[in-house]
Amino acid sequence: MRMSQSVREAASGRRARVTRDRALRAAVALADEGGLESLTMRSLAQELGVVPMALYKHVANKDDLIDGMVDIIIGEIDPAIAGADWKSAVRERILSARRALLSHPWARAAIESRTRMTPVMLSYMESMIGLFRDGGFSVDLTHHVLHALAGRIWGFTQEVFADPPTSEATEVDPEALAAALQEMASKYPYSHEIAMAIAHDQTSVVGGGCDDQFEFEFALDILLDGFERLHRQGWTSTGRHRGVVGPA
Amino acid sequence: MRMSQSVREAASGRRARVTRDRALRAAVALADEGGLESLTMRSLAQELGVVPMALYKHVANKDDLIDGMVDIIIGEIDPAIAGADWKSAVRERILSARRALLSHPWARAAIESRTRMTPVMLSYMESMIGLFRDGGFSVDLTHHVLHALAGRIWGFTQEVFADPPTSEATEVDPEALAAALQEMASKYPYSHEIAMAIAHDQTSVVGGGCDDQFEFEFALDILLDGFERLHRQGWTSTGRHRGVVGPA
DNA sequence: ACCTGAACACCGTTCAAGT
DNA sequence: ACCTGAACACCGTTCAAGT
């Protein structure tokens, strides 16, 4: 068990004065440890050895706090490599964003809860757009390409479901697992086929599941290759509401 | 202002007995109207003209309630068209899922908060997998294709940011808008270029923004075309952890 | 300028009790 | 079998007050 900031400071007898920056970093640390739902104004205040209301001197409200936390995470994304072609520059940048997001699992939900971008986020988008424009993409194609990338721009893994609650005693009962697979085989044969393929690919059935990094790059590369093809073909959207647009 | 269920029933003197189904449908209606955050055990109880604790006879807890609500929405997705080729079957099904999701804006967050699939969700996935397998896709390719589609399987629009709060007086001050665009032009020239292209495409700068349906189909078709290409090439993942996989 | 303390209007959920 | 009432342990945030 890690010694909390407040306990440590009480023990050492001093207590650093709260600043916005200190509050934001403590909030990031708290969310890293216990998830976004464990971060409350009250828990953050306790971590800083201060009464909840003291935070409102440094942060307008909880939304403002989360804005600041998001800016810290966006700041961890590597700048684009200079001199590379657009495709590898975009690819590397997005993989860097993914790395940043992966080390802060709460950040996806935090970003998705924002109703508008901070200046830090606007700058990041701006440089991402610049990679395509400098690579010769039209404004039109760049616009749609940004939509197609969507969450990937922010490094979001596209997994849909929430992590199962991290209970300490999460050992899988082998008997129950076998029974579940048996039931799956009869009720959901197609799904079972895939589950078995994944299991076969692993050292054990119990083991981790899918290779998220591979899946992320798989989809990213299909998209990037698609963009490249459309760009080479001189694709334009030529007005809106045309339905299907895929290359013939 | 709409007359609430409870008021209506109090006025008519009768009050239907609560059932699980009635509770779920009332919850869906409540979320449709006021968003997921307006749905509380207390507000739902009031809607049903009952005390909060009465709900726990029909629903294990709030998570169980949301599970039931999600099942209702998944049930609104059209079954796959029989006899179609895999590509248009998948395409139509996903567009149907999107339609279902669009009429219940809270459903995306509800689905994303689930830690495991309900039987209804498993059946939906099973039939989606079947479309690819019956179309001749290998288990291997089907598996990765499912990951690449990710949220699109559930009809998720990939938009990242939360809707701005729906305030009643949300009229845009034209002067403020002009100033914002001016600032954007100097600080974020690439972004400005795109903003102008979007504005030009609209009847007015104030108007709605992007054509979400177009953007959804744009990305979907790039992915489907990519899948088709990989399938034709007999693509296999040939072991894991190989990095890049895009077609050469 | 910064921090405190009490309070308000909420949550989901418990427990024991009513009919 | 179904519903009630009071209570618990939480939230974010207000207001007025202290130093």
Residue type at A47? E
Contact of A33 with chain B, judged by CB distance below 8 Å, is answered with: no
Q: What pLDDT is attached to residue B129?
A: 98
The answer to whether B50 CB sits below 7 Å from nucleic acid chain D is yes
- Cβ contact A165–B215 (<8 Å): no
Q: What pLDDT is attached to residue B208?
A: 61
The answer to whether B197 CB sits below 7 Å from nucleic acid chain D is no
The average confidence (pLDDT) of chain B is: 86
HEC profile of B133-152? HHCCCCHHHHHHHHHHHHHH
CA A229/CA A221 separation, integer angstroms? 12
Q: What pLDDT is attached to residue A65?
A: 97
Q: Which of B120, B157, B218 to mutate to test the interface with A (most CBs of A within 10 A)?
A: B218
- Cβ contact A142–B194 (<8 Å): yes
pLDDT band per the 50, 70, 90 thresholds, residue A15: low
A236-240, B92-96, B202-206, B220-224: the lowest-pLDDT one: B202-206
Spacing of B181 CA from D16 C1' in Å: 42
Q: What pLDDT is attached to residue B162?
A: 80
Spacing of A35 CA from D15 C1' in Å: 31
pLDDT tens, position by position, B39-64 = 999 999 999 999 999 999 999 999 99
- Cβ contact A242–B158 (<8 Å): no
Asked whether residue B210 carries a pLDDT value surpassing 90, the answer given is no
pTM exceeding the 0.75 threshold for the entire prediction: yes
Q: What pLDDT is attached to residue B198?
A: 86
Interface of A with B in 101-160 (CB under 8 A): 111-117, 122-123, 125-126, 129-130, 133, 139-140, 142-144, 146-148, 150-151, 153-154, 156, 158-160
pLDDT tens, position by position, A138-165 = 999 999 999 999 999 999 988 888 876 5
CA B102/CA A35 separation, integer angstroms? 29
Inter-CA distances, A173 with A163, A178, A180, Å = 19, 9, 11
Under 8 Å between Cβ of A26 and A47: yes
Instruction: Find the nucleotide nearest B64 (Cα to C1′).
Output: C12
pLDDT band per the 50, 70, 90 thresholds, residue A201: confident
Please list, in sequence order, all residues whose beta carbon lies within 8 angstroms of the beta carbon of residue A110, skipping any fewer than 6 positions away. A31, A36, A66, A69, A70, A73
Q: Is the sign of the CA dihedral A77, A82, A88, A90 positive or negative?
A: positive
- Start-to-end CA distance of chain A, whole Å, equals 59
pLDDT tens, position by position, A75-84 = 999 999 999 9
Q: Which residue is it, tokens 């900031």?
A: A5
Asked whether residue B18 carries a pLDDT value surpassing 80, the answer given is yes
How many angstroms separate the CA of residue B102 from the nearest CA in chain A?
17
Contact of A63 with chain B, judged by CB distance below 8 Å, is answered with: no
Contact of B205 with chain A, judged by CB distance below 8 Å, is answered with: no
Asked whether residue A214 carries a pLDDT value surpassing 90, the answer given is yes
Task: Decide: residue A106, CB within 10 A, 0-12 exposed, 13-18 middle, 19+ buried.
Answer: buried
Measured from the Cβ of residue A225, the count of other Cβ atoms closer than 10 Å reads: 18
Under 8 Å between Cβ of B99 and B154: no
Inter-CA distances, A160 with A61, A113, B184, Å = 29, 16, 34
3-state secondary structure of B28: helix
- A203 versus A53: the higher-pLDDT residue is A53
Under 8 Å between Cβ of B142 and B131: no
pLDDT tens, position by position, B163-202 = 765 544 455 677 877 888 888 999 999 999 999 988 877 6
How many angstroms separate the CA of residue B20 from the nearest CA in chain A?
25
Q: What pLDDT is attached to residue B246?
A: 45
Q: Which two tokens stand for residue B203?
A: 């009847």
pLDDT band per the 50, 70, 90 thresholds, residue A3: very low
Asked whether residue B4 carries a pLDDT value surpassing 50, the answer given is no
Inter-CA distances, B217 with A64, A221, A245, B38, B211, Å = 35, 18, 8, 32, 10
CA B93/CA B97 separation, integer angstroms? 6
pLDDT tens, position by position, A167-199 = 444 556 778 778 888 889 999 999 999 999 888
Q: What is the maximal distance between C-alpha atoms in chain A?
A: 72
% of chain B exceeding 90 in pLDDT: 69
Spacing of A117 CA from C2 C1' in Å: 30
Task: Decide: residue A166, CB within 10 A, 0-12 exposed, 13-18 middle, 19+ buried.
Answer: exposed
CA A168/CA A163 separation, integer angstroms? 14
The answer to whether B2 CB sits below 7 Å from nucleic acid chain D is no
Q: What pLDDT is attached to residue A186?
A: 94
- Cβ contact A246–B224 (<8 Å): yes
